[in-house]
Amino acid sequence: MDPEVSVLLHCAHWRGLQESRVQVELSDRFNRRTDPALEQHIDEVWTERVSKEPWLFNAAKFRLHSFCLASPKHPHSTNSSHDLSYDCAEDQDRGVCVTNRCLNQTEDAASSKCDCKKNITSDIPSHSSGSLLTLRLGLTCYKDYLGTNWSRSVAELRQRGEAEFSDPLALLAQPLGVGAVLCTHDGQVVFIRRSQKVAEAGGLLDIPGGHPEPKVVCERLGQAAGEDQITVVMMEQRPEAVVSELFSSVCAEIRDEVNIPLSTLGAPVLMGVALNHTSAGRPSAEFYVSCSLTSDQVSKLYWKGGPEAHESTDVVFLSRMEVLQLDRSSALWSELCPSAKGAVLLYQTVTPDES
């Protein structure tokens, strides 16, 4: 495994999960812990960053606290998450709960030493109906992300989290990102080279991606509010709207970054969740998305420029076989940013486009 990334959850048993198989549980209980001293530290970090990068702006994000995967014996029991404690408790007959404290593991789901992970890819029959995966989400923001996950004091924050809450990530923002392994009609996977002006991983190869946006969910629910006014209460009665945003946001990122029409994209398939250890284990939901366009057509659209064309400087295509064979010994591996590495690892594990 590459020390920069690891796989928290993969959905290989189902070749990935469609939107109908995923649900979310929203609660303020899943927000990060805080105190006045930490808030002051976050303010100081934000002021320093904005002074150097005045184009930065704050925005609400969803925080991944934990997830629960239904067991084979109870494929409809995603509500069992309410019956499980949040300290890595496990009930073999009802489901498997993996909490936020486990997100700092550096091994993948199959080899982790954390007992609460040992069955997170339980062999649930692919024909079972209903939701299989429950994501437990709170709220955070980009400012908090820079002031915790990217703070020079992140090691201290992790130590405090473990000492005070038995959770090394309790004080970290942990915003949930999204990314897409985008495959063209002629079997090419789309990568983009990040601009040197972006906040993270400048100049490296990436996949299209970003974040599901709480503000978008609120607006769709008729609860329009400023970024700093968004609350869980605005969304918790309609969690399906959050799932919809999780899946649709990855397509919106493809449209904006690669300039591909939404009408040419297939339904996103959730491959799993990868962790970026260069930002203290920040999680990202990685999807497989097919495209009806050829790589030549995608290239022409990319060079015409989309709404977020400034975030990248080039488009690069690798064949499906090349992506499946990528590993740390490959010359190209060192050119991939952590988010792309995590998505590639999940793609190789889940192989969602195999029949």
pLDDT digits (tens, 9 = 90+) for 260-280: 999 999 999 999 999 999 999
Contact 141, 61 (CB under 8 A): yes
Phi, psi of 105 (to 5 degrees): -65, 145
Residue type, 241: A
- Write out pLDDT tens, residues 236-255: 999 999 999 999 999 999 99
| Average pLDDT of the segment spanning 13-27 | 95
Whether the predicted pLDDT of 84 surpasses 90: no
The pLDDT of residue 81 is above 50? no
CA 352 vs CA 73, 74, 94, 129, 266: distances in Å: 24, 24, 27, 19, 12
Compute the mean pLDDT over every residue in the chain, rounded to the nearest whole number. 84
How is domain 5-70+130-350 classified at the architecture level of CATH? Alpha-Beta Complex (3.90)
pLDDT band at 199 (very low <50, low <70, confident <90, very high): low
Which is higher by pLDDT, 338 or 104?
338
Residue 200 binned pLDDT confidence (cut-offs 50, 70, 90): low
Report pTM. 0.85
Contact 235, 26 (CB under 8 A): yes
pLDDT band of 129, cuts 50, 70, 90? low
pLDDT grade, residue 198 (50/70/90)?
Answer: low
For residues 232 and 109, which has the higher predicted lDDT (pLDDT)? 232
Given a cut of 80, is residue 182 above it in pLDDT?
yes
φ/ψ (deg, to 5) at 124: -80, 130
Is the pLDDT assigned to residue 306 strictly greater than 50?
yes
- pLDDT of amino acid 224: 85
- Residue 201's pLDDT is what? 61
Q: Is the pLDDT score of 326 beyond 80?
A: yes
CA distances from 64 to 107, 137, 348 (A): 18, 5, 24
